[in-house]
Amino acid sequence: MSLAIAGLTGCLTSATSTSTSAFATFTELFGDFDFGDVNTDTTGGRPTLADATFRSMVSLTFANAAADADMETSLVAWVNGNSITSAAQEDTLINNGYVQLTTETRLGTALVLPIGTFVYGGPGVAGSTRVRLGAGTAGEGDGAAVEPSTRTFQLITPDGILVFEDPPVSCESAAFVFKQDGRPLESEAIPQGLGDVFEGATGAGGIKTLAQVDAYECDPLRPGLFFRSGGGTLATNEYREGAAITITFFLEPGPNGAAAVVTIN
Protein backbone atom coordinates (compact mmCIF):
# COMPACT_ATOMS: atom_id res chain seq x y z
CA MET A 1 0.00 0.00 0.00
CA SER A 2 1.43 3.41 -0.87
CA LEU A 3 1.06 6.40 1.39
CA ALA A 4 -1.34 8.98 -0.03
CA ILE A 5 0.45 12.15 1.06
CA ALA A 6 3.36 11.64 3.41
CA GLY A 7 4.13 15.25 4.12
CA LEU A 8 0.82 16.27 5.62
CA THR A 9 0.05 16.39 9.32
CA GLY A 10 -2.96 16.94 11.52
CA CYS A 11 -3.47 20.64 12.12
CA LEU A 12 -4.97 22.53 15.00
CA THR A 13 -6.25 25.99 14.10
CA SER A 14 -7.13 28.90 16.34
CA ALA A 15 -10.81 29.62 16.88
CA THR A 16 -10.04 33.31 16.73
CA SER A 17 -9.63 33.13 12.95
CA THR A 18 -13.18 31.96 12.20
CA SER A 19 -16.70 32.60 13.36
CA THR A 20 -17.97 30.91 16.49
CA SER A 21 -21.62 30.98 15.45
CA ALA A 22 -24.07 28.35 16.58
CA PHE A 23 -23.58 24.86 15.18
CA ALA A 24 -25.34 21.52 15.23
CA THR A 25 -24.57 18.90 17.82
CA PHE A 26 -22.43 15.90 17.02
CA THR A 27 -25.50 13.71 16.70
CA GLU A 28 -27.22 16.14 14.33
CA LEU A 29 -24.16 16.33 12.10
CA PHE A 30 -22.85 12.80 12.10
CA GLY A 31 -25.60 10.52 13.41
CA ASP A 32 -25.90 8.55 16.63
CA PHE A 33 -23.68 5.53 17.20
CA ASP A 34 -23.70 3.06 20.08
CA PHE A 35 -20.70 0.95 20.92
CA GLY A 36 -20.67 -1.91 23.37
CA ASP A 37 -21.45 -2.09 27.04
CA VAL A 38 -19.79 -0.50 30.02
CA ASN A 39 -16.79 -2.07 31.73
CA THR A 40 -15.41 -3.48 28.49
CA ASP A 41 -12.09 -3.41 26.66
CA THR A 42 -12.41 -2.24 23.08
CA THR A 43 -10.15 -3.58 20.36
CA GLY A 44 -12.80 -4.10 17.70
CA GLY A 45 -11.79 -7.72 17.28
CA ARG A 46 -8.47 -6.61 15.88
CA PRO A 47 -4.93 -7.50 17.05
CA THR A 48 -3.92 -5.78 20.27
CA LEU A 49 -0.13 -5.95 19.81
CA ALA A 50 1.49 -3.50 17.45
CA ASP A 51 4.07 -4.63 14.93
CA ALA A 52 7.66 -3.86 15.94
CA THR A 53 8.01 -1.62 12.88
CA PHE A 54 5.90 1.07 14.52
CA ARG A 55 4.85 2.34 17.95
CA SER A 56 3.63 0.32 20.91
CA MET A 57 0.08 0.42 22.23
CA VAL A 58 -1.54 3.19 24.26
CA SER A 59 -4.19 2.26 26.81
CA LEU A 60 -7.00 4.85 26.87
CA THR A 61 -9.61 4.43 29.61
CA PHE A 62 -12.84 6.39 30.00
CA ALA A 63 -14.26 6.36 33.56
CA ASN A 64 -17.67 7.72 34.61
CA ALA A 65 -17.55 8.69 38.28
CA ALA A 66 -21.18 9.84 38.42
CA ALA A 67 -23.36 7.45 40.43
CA ASP A 68 -26.67 8.70 39.06
CA ALA A 69 -26.08 9.61 35.41
CA ASP A 70 -24.81 8.09 32.19
CA MET A 71 -21.97 9.82 30.35
CA GLU A 72 -21.62 10.28 26.58
CA THR A 73 -18.80 11.68 24.44
CA SER A 74 -16.89 10.93 21.24
CA LEU A 75 -13.30 9.93 20.50
CA VAL A 76 -11.00 10.71 17.58
CA ALA A 77 -7.40 9.41 17.47
CA TRP A 78 -5.05 10.00 14.56
CA VAL A 79 -1.53 9.36 13.24
CA ASN A 80 -0.06 12.06 11.01
CA GLY A 81 0.89 11.07 7.48
CA ASN A 82 4.51 12.18 7.90
CA SER A 83 4.92 9.90 10.94
CA ILE A 84 4.83 6.89 8.58
CA THR A 85 8.07 5.87 6.87
CA SER A 86 7.24 2.53 5.23
CA ALA A 87 4.46 0.44 3.73
CA ALA A 88 4.95 -2.02 6.60
CA GLN A 89 4.03 0.71 9.08
CA GLU A 90 0.92 1.52 7.07
CA ASP A 91 -0.07 -2.14 7.17
CA THR A 92 0.54 -2.24 10.92
CA LEU A 93 -1.84 0.67 11.47
CA ILE A 94 -4.50 -0.84 9.23
CA ASN A 95 -4.20 -4.24 10.93
CA ASN A 96 -4.73 -2.52 14.27
CA GLY A 97 -7.89 -0.62 13.44
CA TYR A 98 -6.73 2.53 11.65
CA VAL A 99 -7.98 3.74 8.27
CA GLN A 100 -6.48 6.34 5.94
CA LEU A 101 -8.38 9.50 5.08
CA THR A 102 -8.89 10.15 1.38
CA THR A 103 -10.27 13.66 1.86
CA GLU A 104 -9.45 16.53 4.20
CA THR A 105 -11.63 16.33 7.30
CA ARG A 106 -12.53 19.14 9.69
CA LEU A 107 -14.06 18.98 13.14
CA GLY A 108 -15.34 22.42 13.99
CA THR A 109 -12.63 25.06 13.61
CA ALA A 110 -10.10 23.47 15.97
CA LEU A 111 -9.06 20.32 14.12
CA VAL A 112 -8.10 19.76 10.49
CA LEU A 113 -6.98 16.29 9.39
CA PRO A 114 -5.39 16.34 5.91
CA ILE A 115 -5.60 13.66 3.24
CA GLY A 116 -3.32 10.75 4.16
CA THR A 117 -3.89 10.98 7.91
CA PHE A 118 -4.58 7.64 9.60
CA VAL A 119 -7.53 7.70 12.03
CA TYR A 120 -8.72 5.04 14.44
CA GLY A 121 -11.62 3.60 12.51
CA GLY A 122 -14.95 4.38 14.09
CA PRO A 123 -17.97 4.99 11.83
CA GLY A 124 -18.25 8.74 12.46
CA VAL A 125 -16.54 11.62 10.68
CA ALA A 126 -12.73 11.41 11.04
CA GLY A 127 -13.11 7.90 12.41
CA SER A 128 -14.92 9.20 15.46
CA THR A 129 -16.23 6.62 17.91
CA ARG A 130 -19.21 7.27 20.16
CA VAL A 131 -18.52 6.38 23.80
CA ARG A 132 -21.35 5.73 26.25
CA LEU A 133 -20.84 4.77 29.89
CA GLY A 134 -23.53 3.85 32.36
CA ALA A 135 -23.55 5.33 35.85
CA GLY A 136 -20.88 4.32 38.31
CA THR A 137 -21.67 2.28 41.40
CA ALA A 138 -22.22 4.25 44.59
CA GLY A 139 -20.34 3.07 47.65
CA GLU A 140 -22.08 2.16 50.88
CA GLY A 141 -22.49 4.88 53.49
CA ASP A 142 -22.34 8.65 53.36
CA GLY A 143 -19.33 10.01 51.54
CA ALA A 144 -18.31 6.64 50.15
CA ALA A 145 -16.40 6.74 46.88
CA VAL A 146 -18.09 5.87 43.59
CA GLU A 147 -16.78 2.88 41.65
CA PRO A 148 -16.64 4.29 38.10
CA SER A 149 -17.96 2.46 35.08
CA THR A 150 -15.18 2.17 32.51
CA ARG A 151 -14.34 1.44 28.90
CA THR A 152 -10.79 0.91 27.66
CA PHE A 153 -9.36 1.24 24.16
CA GLN A 154 -6.04 -0.31 23.14
CA LEU A 155 -4.63 1.47 20.11
CA ILE A 156 -1.28 2.07 18.48
CA THR A 157 0.12 5.27 19.99
CA PRO A 158 -1.51 8.09 18.01
CA ASP A 159 -0.15 11.56 17.37
CA GLY A 160 -3.29 13.07 18.82
CA ILE A 161 -6.44 12.20 20.77
CA LEU A 162 -9.54 14.37 20.91
CA VAL A 163 -12.47 13.69 23.23
CA PHE A 164 -15.43 15.91 22.37
CA GLU A 165 -19.22 16.12 22.18
CA ASP A 166 -19.78 18.94 19.67
CA PRO A 167 -17.35 19.87 16.87
CA PRO A 168 -15.04 22.30 18.70
CA VAL A 169 -15.14 25.97 17.75
CA SER A 170 -14.22 27.41 21.16
CA CYS A 171 -13.57 26.20 24.69
CA GLU A 172 -17.28 26.70 25.33
CA SER A 173 -18.06 23.86 22.92
CA ALA A 174 -19.44 20.76 24.61
CA ALA A 175 -16.88 18.09 25.50
CA PHE A 176 -19.15 15.48 27.12
CA VAL A 177 -22.63 15.20 28.56
CA PHE A 178 -24.30 13.46 31.49
CA LYS A 179 -27.77 12.04 30.90
CA GLN A 180 -30.62 10.39 32.75
CA ASP A 181 -33.13 8.36 30.76
CA GLY A 182 -31.43 9.53 27.58
CA ARG A 183 -31.90 13.23 28.31
CA PRO A 184 -29.17 15.69 29.35
CA LEU A 185 -29.30 16.82 32.94
CA GLU A 186 -30.31 20.43 33.31
CA SER A 187 -29.11 23.20 35.62
CA GLU A 188 -32.20 25.37 35.71
CA ALA A 189 -32.91 27.17 38.95
CA ILE A 190 -35.48 25.65 41.31
CA PRO A 191 -38.57 27.87 41.73
CA GLN A 192 -38.79 29.55 45.12
CA GLY A 193 -40.84 27.81 47.75
CA LEU A 194 -40.47 24.26 46.45
CA GLY A 195 -37.87 23.42 49.05
CA ASP A 196 -35.83 20.24 48.89
CA VAL A 197 -38.47 18.21 47.04
CA PHE A 198 -36.38 18.94 43.95
CA GLU A 199 -33.04 18.52 45.68
CA GLY A 200 -30.45 17.40 43.16
CA ALA A 201 -32.28 18.84 40.16
CA THR A 202 -29.97 21.83 40.08
CA GLY A 203 -26.20 22.10 40.27
CA ALA A 204 -23.62 22.27 37.53
CA GLY A 205 -25.78 20.69 34.84
CA GLY A 206 -25.03 17.79 32.55
CA ILE A 207 -23.33 19.45 29.58
CA LYS A 208 -19.63 20.04 30.18
CA THR A 209 -17.36 22.15 28.00
CA LEU A 210 -13.87 21.72 26.59
CA ALA A 211 -12.71 24.24 29.20
CA GLN A 212 -13.75 21.74 31.89
CA VAL A 213 -11.29 19.09 30.67
CA ASP A 214 -8.30 19.87 32.86
CA ALA A 215 -5.60 19.02 30.28
CA TYR A 216 -7.05 20.96 27.33
CA GLU A 217 -5.61 24.29 26.17
CA CYS A 218 -7.97 27.20 25.56
CA ASP A 219 -5.69 30.15 24.75
CA PRO A 220 -4.95 29.52 21.96
CA LEU A 221 -7.65 26.91 21.36
CA ARG A 222 -5.91 23.52 21.27
CA PRO A 223 -8.18 20.82 22.68
CA GLY A 224 -6.87 17.29 22.81
CA LEU A 225 -3.91 15.23 23.99
CA PHE A 226 -0.71 14.93 21.97
CA PHE A 227 2.15 12.47 21.46
CA ARG A 228 5.65 13.60 22.41
CA SER A 229 8.54 11.60 21.00
CA GLY A 230 11.47 13.56 22.39
CA GLY A 231 12.79 13.99 25.89
CA GLY A 232 12.08 16.67 28.43
CA THR A 233 9.20 17.29 30.78
CA LEU A 234 5.77 16.49 29.44
CA ALA A 235 3.12 19.18 29.30
CA THR A 236 -0.22 18.34 30.91
CA ASN A 237 -1.69 17.55 27.48
CA GLU A 238 1.18 15.31 26.29
CA TYR A 239 1.92 11.58 26.51
CA ARG A 240 4.70 9.25 25.44
CA GLU A 241 4.60 6.06 23.41
CA GLY A 242 2.85 3.23 25.24
CA ALA A 243 1.30 5.49 27.88
CA ALA A 244 -1.64 4.54 30.07
CA ILE A 245 -4.18 7.38 29.87
CA THR A 246 -7.30 7.62 32.02
CA ILE A 247 -9.97 10.30 31.67
CA THR A 248 -12.30 10.40 34.67
CA PHE A 249 -15.60 12.26 34.21
CA PHE A 250 -17.32 13.93 37.19
CA LEU A 251 -20.82 15.35 37.38
CA GLU A 252 -19.82 17.99 39.92
CA PRO A 253 -16.79 20.09 38.89
CA GLY A 254 -13.83 20.46 41.21
CA PRO A 255 -12.63 23.74 42.77
CA ASN A 256 -10.85 24.69 39.53
CA GLY A 257 -13.97 24.04 37.45
CA ALA A 258 -12.66 20.84 35.90
CA ALA A 259 -15.19 18.05 35.39
CA ALA A 260 -12.84 15.71 33.50
CA VAL A 261 -9.47 14.80 34.99
CA VAL A 262 -6.78 13.37 32.70
CA THR A 263 -4.19 11.04 34.26
CA ILE A 264 -1.19 9.98 32.15
CA ASN A 265 1.28 7.31 33.27
SS3 content of the chain, % helix, strand, coil (to 5): 10, 30, 55
In a domain, 194, yes or no: no
Report pLDDT for 140: 80
In a domain, 158, yes or no: yes
Q: What is the mean pLDDT of residues 159-173?
A: 97
In a domain, 19, yes or no: no
Report pLDDT for 141: 75
In a domain, 2, yes or no: no
In a domain, 26, yes or no: no
For the cut 60, the answer to whether the pLDDT of residue 44 exceeds it is no
- Give 200-239 pLDDT, tens digit per residue: 334 458 999 999 999 999 999 999 999 999 888 999 999 9
Q: How confident is the model at residue 4 (pLDDT cuts 50, 70, 90)?
A: very low
What is the domain count for the chain? 1
- Give 91-117 pLDDT, tens digit per residue: 999 999 999 999 999 999 999 999 999
In a domain, 4, yes or no: no
In a domain, 48, yes or no: no
For the cut 90, the answer to whether the pLDDT of residue 7 exceeds it is no
Enclosing domain of residue 160: 33-42+55-136+146-184+201-264
In a domain, 23, yes or no: no
Report pLDDT for 10: 52
Report pLDDT for 143: 74
CA distance 261 to 252: 12
For the cut 60, the answer to whether the pLDDT of residue 196 exceeds it is no
Report pLDDT for 26: 36
Are 18 and 107 spatial neighbours (Cβ–Cβ below 8 Å)? Answer: no
Compute the chain's Rg from CA coordinates.
Answer: 19
